[in-house]
Amino acid sequence: MLRVRISQMVTSRTETRLLVWMIAIALPVTLGMIAAGFPKFAMAFVTGTAVALLGYLWLCDLAASALGSGNGRVPKRLVLKLVIRYPLLFGTLYFFYRTNWLSIWAVLAGLSVPMASGVVEGFYQLEGILFHSRTQAEP
């Protein structure tokens, strides 16, 4: 039981850090594109990032519900969110591809923000493994 609780605490901190990394990656890119004079690119990037963040948050809710419930049943609302994730993703891409309203490449760049944050978190975790000073200080 203690092992499960420790695992949940580590997972919770990691999920929080991933969200912070996503914002830390998306915000400077968006502000940089606006400052460089590419507001449409910035808007498309924010759109892709918003869809990716929504999908990430829904997936976190589903995982927390599945791991936290004692009976192993997941609420239907969360299952619906999981089912909607990919149609929402592909629908967004298709909409911007067909209308050419915003850059499809910028939307794809925004959709890749969770992957970039995962890479950053991986380096953060690797640094914690190689240099134990941070890991010993955390509770």
**Chain centroid offset of residue 45 CA:** 14
Identify the CA nearest to 60 among candidates 122, 109, 2, 17.
Answer: 17
Give the count of beta carbons closer than 10 Å to the beta carbon of residue 22.
Answer: 22
Q: What 8-state DSSP symbol labels residue 81? A: H
> Over the stretch 75-92, which tens digit does the pLDDT of each residue have?
788 778 878 888 888 888
**pLDDT the model gives residue 4:** 45
- Gap between the Cα atoms of 4 and 83, Å rounded: 28
The pLDDT of residue 134: 54
* Percent of the chain topping pLDDT 70: 81
Nearest Cα neighbor of 14 from 111, 118, 85 is 118
For 97-135, how does the pLDDT look when each residue is reduced to its tens digit (9 = 90+)?
Answer: 888 888 889 989 999 999 999 999 999 988 888 887 655
- CA dist., res. 74 & res. 62, Å (int): 7
Arithmetic mean of pLDDT over the chain = 81
Q: Are 49 and 61 in contact (CB under 8 A)?
A: no
Would the pTM count as exceeding 0.85?
no
Instruction: Judge whether residue 139 has pLDDT over 80.
Output: no
| Distance, CA of 101 to CA of 55 (rounded, Å) | 23
